[in-house]
Amino acid sequence: MYSLAIFYENGIGLNKDHSQYLYWMNNSAKLGHDGAIDECYIDGDGYEKNVTKGFNILENYATNCKEAFFQGSVGGYIIKR
């Protein structure tokens, strides 16, 4: 579900569709996908916006899962701050 949300967000193989992105991202978060939960907090999509909490979830997830995508996301959020 998380990957499908990202595909809708970026128009990868599908037309960009923000409502479908939110639908799949929120469903992924409800199922406990940390990568989705952090985005929902950071963006305030379906959750009360809390950038610090979202970033902490993302940083913890990136540290524990060792996925380069999420480690890169941490770097991207640090640069934005």
Cα separation, 71 vs 64, whole angstroms: 10
Q: Which residue has the tokens 């569709």?
A: 17
Res 79: pLDDT = 45
| 17-40 pLDDT, tens digit each | 989 988 998 888 888 877 788 878
Q: pLDDT below 70 — which residues of the chain?
A: 65-81
Q: What is the pLDDT of residue 11?
A: 92
Element (H, E) at 62: helix 51-65
Q: Where are the domains of the chain?
A: 2-80
66: left (phi over 0), alpha (psi -120 to 50) or beta: left
For 39-43, which contacts have Cβ atoms below 8 Å and span 24 or more sequence positions?
Answer: 42/77
Which amino acid, 14? L
